[in-house]
Amino acid sequence: MLRDKTYWAQAADAYRAEMDSSYHRNRLAMVERLLNAGDLAGRVLDFGCGDGTLSERVLAAGGGVVAIDADPSMVAFTDRRLGESEAAKTSVGGVESLKDLPNGSFDTILAVNVLAYLHGGEDAAFYQEAARLLRPDGVLLVTHSNSLFDLFTLNAFTVRFFKDNFSVLGHHCRVEALLTRPDAPDRVPQSVRENPLAYGAKMVRYDLREVRQEFAIPHALPPLLLNENPDDLANREVPDLEFLPETEVWKKMFLCSVFGSRLVKA
């Protein structure tokens, strides 16, 4: 079942309650690795701000933030969290609301854990708007569901990865015949997934140049073998991959279900 536009209205409370978990600490540490000193000290747009964790981080760094989220309860929560600060502005809206903001008005745009939930071409519209809103050399920091991780899950996502990417070779893709549970899981949590090997090349068309990637949410075993409930973020085990020597860092690209990218406006 695809998470539709009504999903966040019923999921917002649970999401906020789980922010203090190893899952969220791990992905937010990745965001910190993608940031350079000073990124949050200027004019920052926090798109899909959720509970305001990153907007609050902007204020602490001395920056000014415009925090936007499609879910009114998330915006109300962020509003209370940021208090009366004149350096913060919050509003309810989606990609379409970005058109009201002036050209070149941001030094940094954060789109963390939100682009996966866009639908039907909204991500292309988002990138066009982000490139318009950034000043030259401004930074877009995004995180994504990692479609390369699908090769490691040996399940329905693996079947989809082969069909989406390798049918071009001219053969009917039959990888499901090799898997014991090719139909599991029956839920497709996100609408948009990205391939870290292809992402930099894709962004060139928006005048955005990828300068760094980082990975988060590693899995020691394919989730099916662990019988993990993917929605149980509070109890999700997040193994430490920081011990990997330089020659094995590439493994993160397959073991991690999330990646982040730092892009610079050309």
Ligand X SMILES: C[S@@+](CC[C@H](N)C(=O)[O-])C[C@H]1O[C@@H](n2cnc3c(N)ncnc32)[C@H](O)[C@@H]1O
Which residues of this protein are in contact with ligand X, per CB under 6 A? Answer: 8, 15, 48-50, 53-54, 69-71, 74, 94-95, 112-114, 117-118
Helix (H), strand (E), coil (C) string for the chain:
CCCCCCHHHHHHHHHHHCCCCHHHHHHHHHHHHHCCCCCCCCEEEEECCCCCHHHHHHHHCCCEEEEEECCHHHHHHHHHHHCCCCCEEEEECCHHHHHHCCCCCEEEEEECCCHHHCCCCHHHHHHHHHHHHEEEEEEEEEEEEEHHHHHHHCCHHHHHHHHHHHHHHCCCCCHHHHCCCCCCCCCCCCCCCECHHHHHHHHHHHCEEEEEEEEEEECCCCHHHHCCCCCCHHHCCCCCCCCCCHHHHHHHHHHEEEEEEEEEEC
Whichever of 129 and 210 has its CB closer to ligand X, that residue is 129
Nearer to ligand X, 114 or 253 (CB): 114
HSE at residue 45, side-chain half, CA atoms within 13 A, is 32
Nearer to ligand X, 15 or 162 (CB): 15
* Nearest C-alpha neighbor of 257 from the set 234, 235, 238: 238
CB closer to ligand X, 110 vs 159 = 110
Closer of 69 and 214 to ligand X (Cβ): 69
Q: 145 or 158: whose CB is closer to ligand X? A: 145
* Least Å from the CB of residue 110 to ligand X: 7
Query: Smallest gap, in angstroms, from Cβ of residue 19 to ligand X?
Result: 7
Q: Which residue is nearest to ligand X (CB)?
A: 50
